[in-house]
Structure formats: C-alpha cells, structure tokens
Amino acid sequence: MKAGTGWLSVAERGSLLGMYFIVGCYRIFGRRICSYLIVPVVGYFFLTGRRARRASRQYLERLHRWSARQGSGGASRAPGLLDSFRHFHQFALTIIDRLSFFLGDTDQFATIVHGREHLERLAQAGRGTLVLSAHLGSFDALRLVADAGGVPLNVAMFLNNARMINAVFTRLNPARPLRIIDLARGTPRSVFDIRACIQRGEFVGMLGDRVGMGDDTRISWVPFLGERAAIPHGPFLLASALKCPVLLMIGLRRDPATYEVFVEVLAEQVELPAEDRTAALDALARRYVARLEHYCLRAPYQWFNFYEFWGDLSPERDMTGPSYPGIEEVLPQTGRMVLLTRIVGHSEERTTCAVEISTTSPFYDGQGGVPAWVALEYMAQCVAAHGGLRARAAGDPVTIGFLLGSRSVALHTAGFRPGQELEVEAAHLWGEHDFFSFTCTVRDARTRVTLAEATLAVARAAGVEAVLPKVGVTGRGRAEAP
C-alpha cells in the first residue's frame, strides 16, 4: 500500500436502508432520543468492524502515550475497549447532529466561534480562502459558521468513500446543496472549479489529513502523536498556486447542545522558494499537525480516521512488513543498557529509531537533561538495531559488535531535555562483510532540527577476532552490534 493511502481501501459501510432508518428515528423521536436508540447500531458496527476497532485502539493508545510524555494531564489508565466504543459512539452522535444541520434544526445548537475576526476580515475583503480542516470533529459546524458570515463554503473531497451518506443528506434538503467539488483521480476539472470559487471570493474547504490517489509521492513525513504520519502537500501547493490565504478551522462537539469552532491563520500566503521548496512544505505540514495534536487532546474521541492512519510510518517500510519487533529483540544489550525506545523505519540501507527522553533515562544528569555526548551512544545502538534487523530477516541470531571509532562529530545542542523525543538515523556508507561505516544523525522528532551528526566505524565480532591476534592483542571487549 502506498504511503498514507490506507483510507482509500476502506469501503463505506452500511446501506441506504439503514441510513434512512436512522433518519426516520430522528424525525419520529427527535435528536435526544435518537442518540440513545443509535447505541445498538453503534454496537453492531463496533463488533463487526475489526479493522476500525483496531484503528481506534491504536489512535487512543498513541494519544495516551503522547499526552503522558507531554505532561498534558491525560487519563492515568491506558485506553481499553470501552474507550473505543465511546469513540465509535461519538462518531455516531456527530452523524445525528449532521441530520439536525441539514434538516434546519440549527436552533438546537449554540455555536461558539474562536477567531471569528479572521473570517470577517477575509469576507469583508472579498478574498477567496482555502480552509484546511481534518477528520476531527464536525465539518458541518464549519458550514454553519460560514453561512452565518455570508460566505459560501465549498468542500473539495473524494466522494468514493462517502457516496451513500452524501446522497442521503442531499435528498433530505435539496434546497441546501452540499457544494461539493469531487477530487476523484482523472478529473483535473476540480482544480479549475476550486480556482473559480477562490476568484469569486468564496471559501473552499479541504481535509488535509488524508493522502489522495496519485498524491502519495507529494507528502511530508511528520511526527504526529509521537509517530510518523504522511501529510499531503496538495492543499499547500494549491494555495501557493492560487496565492490565497489558508485558514485552519476545526469544529468540536463540546456537549449535546454546543459546538466550538476554532479559526486560525495558517498562512496569509503560501510562498514556496525554489531553492528550499521541500523544507517550506515540511514546515507547513508540521504546523498543521501540531494544531491537530492540540485539538485531539481537547476532544480525544472526535478523531474520525477509522483506518490504520500510522499503518506505514516511514517511506522506507518495505522490508519488515507493517510492524517492527521490539527494540530489545534486535540488540545484544538488555535492561537499562537499552537506550533506544523503538524502531520507526527500516530499509536495506538505513534504520531510524526513536528515543524518548525522561528523568529516568540512562545518563540523565539530574540538572535538566541528558548530555549531548550521549547522542553517540544512541547512534551506535541505532547501527546495532540495523544489524539486528538484517540478521532477523536472514534468519541469523543477533550478535555482538564493536564500535571502532567516530569522526566528523558535530553536537549542535548542549543536551536533551525530559519530554523531548529524538529521531536517530543510521545510514550505511560503506562495507559489506565485517567492517562498516555509517553516517548517523540525531534530530528533534517534532521540529526536525538536527541536534547531532557523526560518522561511525563499526565491526562485527568475527571480524575483530580475526584481526586482534595478528596485532598481538588478546583482550576482548563488548560494544555495539553493527
């Protein structure tokens, strides 16, 4: 499966009959009673949707771990099945609310808008704007806010995965068109439709958390809740070409009668310098994802990507399948001597690992962090993990190796602070048998800033044992596995 496109293989579940049954219940009993009647329906989809259930658990567990590392005061216990069921139920409640919106029952809701001034400023200036959102909360709440401000909000989306539900809502209120621009592959007309909307001073909404067909090579890999995720460049490239502002809008359900809509300026104009285009796109993706993290913490059960969003954490995940072994399984070290936290990427030529810094980390100095020189230890163990993964793939045991030396060492920080997550990468430079060289880098996983660099020379134990007798050395030492 190509990077970030797992959602394309998720078929729309349910039937038109089932959807009209929910509409009938709503019309007969009202929204409040319908929210209780929907529980058995949620139970059915929860029990039969193994893939979605697993995706829910993975998301909630990642959010729990990440919030704990950030010191954000999340739940003390790890999420379980009941939390996943609540996640499913929250999604169903937003569908019922969506019925209210389309049937005109908007007086049942209070809408609190944070950042309304940005909408008013752009609307008064007649500036067409790209509105970036996500499968987080309710996009229909954003429509209400835009309508109240007198600005048409068009939605650019892929229809294939939601044709039935959109058909139902269209029939519910033909007088209130959905204003959808289909982004299906092979229809470049959609780009011209978006441009026409922007030129008319309208808003065009896009959900920037999913990679569309044909876009899997135009992505940024950025850390999201502590793991790499693919974020498409499409919205930013489009905004750059159209020279229009980009707003972030997120609508969260605060309670059964209240929605909060958050409006932020992501960019007044997207400028992509030719000499550093990729870096500029990466920076925009990181800023977008940082805000998603903020709102996921605010409404943890309103993230509605029920597929394996982190299913392919790295563009290099082509060797070990959809998951990696625990770091202890590929290193000769054990216990406190294991300095790395987990493996996040691997290929024939390189391996990437994560390190979570805390007050219990080895080498923590008690004065604010882990000294920068420990980066060399992280690099050496990342090289060892690379060798261990290669050994496992060949059916060989993990063996001890030696760190022979380092050169071109550059430390760009004084140390690593608690709560910081590092990305350690070891890339094979030369060597095929017993002696090797790796270029290694340590980056901040969130900002992608390089914190340390070095080139390490390493050897397998067998290669060292063959050399030591020739130079009259009989002692033996233990170091990192290559």
Instruction: Read off the pLDDT of residues 273-282 as tens digits, 9 standing for 90 and up.
Output: 887 788 888 8
Q: What is the pLDDT of residue 177?
A: 63
Q: Are strands 350-356 and 342-346 parallel, antiparallel or unpaired?
A: antiparallel
**CA pair distance 139, 134, nearest whole angstrom:** 8
Q: CATH code at 360?
A: 3.10.129.10
55 occurs within a structural domain:
yes
255 and 148 in a common domain? yes
Q: Other C-beta atoms within 10 Å of 2: how many?
A: 16
Q: What is the pLDDT of residue 247?
A: 96
Residue 291, domain extent: 6-298
Residue 265 pLDDT > 80, yes or no?
yes
Residue 321 pLDDT > 50, yes or no?
no
Instruction: Read off the pLDDT of residues 122-134 as tens digits, 9 standing for 90 and up.
Output: 999 999 999 999 9
pTM here? 0.63
352 and 269 in a common domain? no
Domain end (from 277, 298, 319)? 298
18 occurs within a structural domain:
yes
457 occurs within a structural domain:
yes
Instruction: Read off the pLDDT of residues 274-304 as tens digits, 9 standing for 90 and up.
Output: 877 888 888 899 899 999 999 999 999 999 9
403 occurs within a structural domain:
yes
47 and 195 in a common domain? yes
Q: What is the pLDDT of residue 340?
A: 94
Instruction: Read off the pLDDT of residues 105-164 as tens digits, 9 standing for 90 and up.
Output: 888 889 999 999 999 999 999 999 999 999 999 988 888 888 888 888 888 876 665 556
The structural domain count of the chain equals 2
276 and 398 in a common domain? no
Q: What is the pLDDT of residue 150?
A: 81
**CA pair distance 234, 157, nearest whole angstrom:** 12
Question: Helix or strand or coil: residue 216?
Answer: coil
96 and 203 in a common domain? yes
479 occurs within a structural domain:
no
Instruction: Read off the pLDDT of residues 162-204 as tens digits, 9 standing for 90 and up.
Output: 556 666 666 666 666 667 787 765 456 788 889 999 999 999 9
307 occurs within a structural domain:
no
438 and 362 in a common domain? yes
**CA pair distance 125, 142, nearest whole angstrom:** 20
Residue 248's pLDDT band (cuts 50, 70, 90): very high
Q: What is the pLDDT of residue 176?
A: 63
CA distances from 24 to 15, 170, 245, 434 (A): 14, 16, 41, 71
67 and 205 in a common domain? yes
Residue 474's pLDDT band (cuts 50, 70, 90): very low
Residue 56 pLDDT > 80, yes or no?
yes
- Which tokens go with 44? 């059915």
% pLDDT > 70, the chain: 81
Domain end (from 298, 319, 354)? 298
Smallest CA-to-CA distance from 9 within 307, 229, 230, 317 is with 307
272 and 346 in a common domain? no
Comparing 89-98, 258-267, 387-396, 411-420, the range with the smallest average pLDDT is 387-396
Q: What is the pLDDT of residue 323?
A: 62
Q: Other C-beta atoms within 10 Å of 87: how many?
A: 25
314 occurs within a structural domain:
no
Look up tokens 């080895």; give the residue.
362
DSSP3 helix / strand / coil % (the chain, rounded to 5): 40, 25, 35
Smallest CA-to-CA distance from 172 within 14, 15, 22 is with 22
* Residue 406 and residue 455 in contact, taking contact as beta carbons nearer than 8 Å: yes
Rounded to 5 degrees, φ, ψ at 342 are -165, 165
343 and 292 in a common domain? no
Q: Cα-atom radius of gyration of the chain, to the nearest Å?
A: 26
For residue 219, the Cα-to-chain-centroid distance in whole angstroms is 12
C-alpha dihedral, 221 to 224 to 229 to 233, nearest 10°: -60
Q: To the nearest whole number, what is the mean pLDDT of the chain?
A: 82
Is the model more confident about 174 or about 368? 368
Residue 333's pLDDT band (cuts 50, 70, 90): confident
Triad 193, 260, 230: Cα angle to 5°? 55
Cβ neighbors of 452 (< 8 A, separation 6 or more) are 372, 375, 376, 379, 409, 410, 411, 412, 413, 441, 442
Q: What is the pLDDT of residue 481?
A: 41
291 and 199 in a common domain? yes
235 occurs within a structural domain:
yes
Smallest CA-to-CA distance from 364 within 419, 444, 411, 412 is with 419
Neighbouring-strand partners of residue 350: 427
50-70 vs 277-298: helix axis angle to the nearest 10? Answer: 90
373 and 261 in a common domain? no
Q: What is the pLDDT of residue 464?
A: 46
81-102 vs 16-48: helix axis angle to the nearest 10? Answer: 170
% pLDDT > 90, the chain: 40
440 and 353 in a common domain? yes
Element at 93 (helix H, strand E): helix 81-102
Domain end (from 298, 317, 335)? 298
